[in-house]
Amino acid sequence: MKQTSQKISVPKATMKRYPIYLKALRKLQSNGVTRILSKELAEYCDIQATTIRRDFSFIGSLGKQGYGYDVDHIVNIFDDLLGTHYEEEIIMVGVGNLGKALLNYNRWGQVVGEIVCGFDSDPSKVGIINDIPIYHIDELEEKMPKHCRVAIITVPENVQDIVDRLVEAGIKGFVDFSHEHVLAPKGVIIKQVDIVSAIQELVFQSNNLD
Amino acid sequence: MKQTSQKISVPKATMKRYPIYLKALRKLQSNGVTRILSKELAEYCDIQATTIRRDFSFIGSLGKQGYGYDVDHIVNIFDDLLGTHYEEEIIMVGVGNLGKALLNYNRWGQVVGEIVCGFDSDPSKVGIINDIPIYHIDELEEKMPKHCRVAIITVPENVQDIVDRLVEAGIKGFVDFSHEHVLAPKGVIIKQVDIVSAIQELVFQSNNLD
DNA sequence: TTGTGTGAAAGTTTTCACAGCA
DNA sequence: TGCTGTGAAAACTTTCACACAA
C-alpha cells in the first residue's frame, strides 16, 4: 500500500465532505478556474465557508491569506488523500445489471482505481465483460489478487455470507449495494450504498419539512 | 399526499438511523422474533442501546418498561414514518444498465412505493421494461404523473439540467446515482448515492486507520 | 426486578469573531 | 485591504446514570 503522507487525524464529519470538495474542485478545474475563495466554494458546494476552511486546515495550510486557494494544488492534495493516486485494485462480486452498470463506468481510473476482476454464482456470467475477467464465485480465493483490500458487492441477498468469506480472504473495505442487514468485524469498513434507505430518508424528510 | 401522523421533530442524525432500524427489525420479524430489548437491537445494529432508546423516544413511548419493544408494533410505526405506507409514486430518468437493475428490483412495494414510469434520451429504450412504461425524455412534462414528488436519476452526465427540469415539473426529492456536482433550490432534497465517493471515503478511512 | 425513557454530562461539529499574513 | 486559519462559543449528538412503570 502506497502511503505518501503521514496519518492525519480528521473528524468523521469532515471526512464525509472531502469527496464532495474533490468532485467540485475537479469540475471547477475543468472549467478553467485556477483560483478560488472559500466563500465561492461554499456557494458552489452549499457548505459554509468557515466549515470548508476548517476542513482544509486539518490537512495543512493550503490557502494563501488574502488570496484564496490554488485549485490545481488542492485537487492534487485531495487526489492523494482520497486514493486516486493509490491505484486501488477492486474486485466486484455479482455481475448482474447493477454490476455491469458499474463495470461500464469507464472513469474509474480518474477517480479511485480499477476493477480488476468480477465473480458471480451464475456460470453463464463467467467470461470477459468490458475487458474485465469474470470468474465463478467458487474460484474466489484462487483468482482474487492477494493484495486486494476493497470489494464492491452488488448481489441482492446473502450478503453476510459473502462478506464473511471476503473478510476471511483479506478484504478490509466493502461497498455494499444491497438493502440487507450486514455486520463486519472491527477494522473492516462497510459502506452501505442503499437506494431503498435513501428513498425512505427522502420521503420521511419531505413529509416532516416545515 | 397521505399524512397519517402529525409532524414530529427529529434530529438529522436520528433520521439517518431510522431506515437502519426498520431494515433490521424487518429481518428479525421474518425470523420470527416478536419482542426485542434495546440492548439486543443494539448488538444487532451496532448502535448503542441508549442511542436507540432516545431515537425511538422522539416518536413516542414505543416500549414497555421491564419488557422491551414489540417488533410487529414498531415495524408498523416505522413503515408509516418512512413512507412504505405512503405508496410513493416514483419516476426514473435514465434506463441504462443501472436503471434496469433498479427496475428489476422487485421489492419496491414492500419498502417504499413503486416506479411508475421511466424516461430516456435514447429512442431505442422507449417501450416497456418489467411492466413499466418507458418514454422519451422529450415527453417528460406530458407523461409524468402530476403528483409525483420523487425521481431517481441514473444518467451519468448533465444531471444538473435534468434536475432543473424536474424541479420545474414539481419534483421535490431526488436520488442521484451520478458522481456529478449538483445543486437544488431550497425545499428540494437531493440524496447522492455515489459509489465513487463511497470508495474514496473507504480508502481514505483505511489509510488513516489506527 | 428489569429495562425503558429522560435529565444532565460529555463529546463532537458548526459557527462566530478576529488576529495575522500576503 | 481581504481572506485564511483558528481560538472560543454555540449547537448538536451521544453517553451516563437513574427514576419509574410494568
Angstrom distance, B170 CA to C5 C1'? 41
> In which residue are the cell numbers 431515537 written?
B55
pLDDT of residue A169: 95
**Residue A65, C-beta contacts closer than 8 angstroms, at least 6 positions apart:** none
pLDDT value of residue A2: 34
Average pLDDT, chain A: 89
CA distance B204 to chain A (A): 5
DSSP string over A34-60:
-EE-HHHHHHHHTS-HHHHHHHHHTT-
Q: Given the DSSP bridges, would you call strands B88-93 and B150-153 parallel, antiparallel or unpaired?
A: parallel
Cα–Cα distance for residue pair B57/B55, rounded to 1 Å: 5
Residue B7 has pLDDT above 70, yes or no: no
Strand C proximal to B48 Cβ, under 7 A: no
Q: Which of A203-207, B35-39, B165-169 has the lowest mean pLDDT?
A: A203-207
**CA atoms of B118 and A202, how far apart (whole Å):** 19
Mean pLDDT lowest among A9-18, A51-60, A112-121, B99-108:
B99-108
- Which of A149, A183, A205 is nearest residue B206 as measured by Cβ atoms? A149
Contacts of residue B166 in chain A, CB cutoff 8 Å? none
Place of cell 434536475: B163
**Given this model, what pLDDT does residue B3 score?**
35
**pLDDT-derived band at A132, boundaries 50, 70, 90:** very high
Q: Which of A1, A175, A204 sits opposite B82 (nearest CB)?
A: A204
Higher pLDDT, B110 or B196: B196
Cβ atoms of B38 and B31 closer than 8 Å: no
pLDDT tens, residue by residue, B12-22: 999 999 999 99
Q: What is the rounded average pLDDT of the residues A93-111?
A: 84
pLDDT tier at A109, thresholds 50, 70, 90 = low
Cα B168 to chain centroid distance, Å, stands at 22
**H-run or E-run covering A117:** strand A113-120
Q: Is the pLDDT of residue A6 over 80?
A: no
Q: How many CB atoms lie within 10 A of CB A181?
A: 17
Mean pLDDT of B161-182: 94
Nearest residue in B to A185, CA atom:
B46
Across chain B, mean pLDDT equals 89
Task: State how far the Cα of A193 lies from the Cα of B195, in Å rounded to an integer.
Answer: 7
Is the distance between the Cβ of A51 and the closest atom of strand C smaller than 7 Å?
Answer: yes
**How far is B29 from chain A, CA to nearest CA, in Å?**
13
* pLDDT average, residue stretch B50-67: 96
Inter-chain CB proximity A189 and B199 less than 8 Å: no
- Percentage of chain B modeled with pLDDT above 90: 69
Most confident residue range from A103-112, A172-181, B160-169, B175-184: B160-169
pLDDT tens per residue across span A74-91:
999 998 888 776 678 899
Q: Is B76 exposed, middle or buried (0-12, 13-18, 19+ CB in 10 A)?
A: middle
**Domains in chain A, please, with CATH?**
12-82 (1.10.10.10), 88-197 (3.40.50.720)
Q: Torsion angle of alpha carbons A25, A27, A33, A35, nearest 10°? A: 0
Rounded-to-integer distance, Cα A10 and Cα A209, Å: 32
